[in-house]
Amino acid sequence: MNISKLTQQLLRVKREKCLSFADIGKKLGRDEVWTAALFYGQASMTDDECKKLVNTLGINLTSQDIFDLTHPPSKGTLIKTFPPTDPLLYRFHEILAVYGVPMKEVIHEKFGDGIMSAVDFTIKIDKDETNKEAPRVNVNMSGKFLPYKKF
């Protein structure tokens, strides 16, 4: 995965300041996953949010950096090969390959003919440590249901 110089800079400062995406997201009033998407050039922010980011990280940004952070990005460009080769990313691909059609059918049973929005969408990732030997990753995706229009 090739990441931009801006992404590299943001990640370096985040690491140097020992901040998490959740820490930065709280300062911006955004979720940690959205904040990570912003760092990787997959989301855009307002000018006010950009000022908050600059203050939170204590960095100087060029006018090009500000443009890149505040204008709509080309989404979905980080993963260059499918299926992805990174083991964690591959597992999400595997989940879709194995459970995608069953999930689609269950959604259709419950909602009818339509799709789940990836625009009006949130995702929450939590760590469940109730089993100390095998902590669980909980991924909750919530998207608006969009029925297909009949015409």
Residue 129 and residue 97 in one domain: no
**Residue at a domain's end among 40, 70, 100:** 70
Q: What is the pLDDT of residues 8-56, one digit of tens each?
A: 999 999 999 999 999 999 999 999 999 999 999 999 999 999 999 999 9
**Burial code of 60-87, b = ≥16 C-beta within 10 A, e = fewer?**
ebeeebbebbeeeeeeeebeeeeebeee
Number of domains into which the chain is organized: 3
| CB-CB contact of 54 with 61 (8 Å) | yes
**Domain encompassing residue 92:** 79-110
pLDDT tens figures, 63-99: 999 999 999 999 888 888 889 999 999 999 999 999 8
Asked whether residue 84 falls in the same domain as residue 64, the answer is no
For residue 84, give both structure tokens.
């992805």
**31 and 55 share a domain?**
yes
Q: What CATH number is attached to the domain comprising 151? A: 3.30.1160.10
Environment class of 53 (CB within 10 Å of its CB; exposed 0-12, middle 13-18, buried 19+): buried
Q: Are residues 106 and 117 in the same domain?
A: no
127: three-class secondary structure by DSSP:
strand
Task: Provide the whole-model pTM.
Answer: 0.85
Statement to judge: residues 44 and 57 lie in one domain: yes
Confidence (pLDDT) at 50:
95
- What CATH number should be reported for the domain holding residue 58? 1.10.260.40
Q: Is the pLDDT of residue 101 over 90?
A: no
Same domain as 62, residue 18: yes
Task: Say whether both 63 and 15 belong to one domain.
Answer: yes
Tell me which DSSP letter residue 78 carries. S
Kindly state whether residues 33 and 58 are assigned to the same domain: yes
> Which of the residues are catalytic?
91, 94, 117
Q: Are residues 38 and 95 in the same domain?
A: no
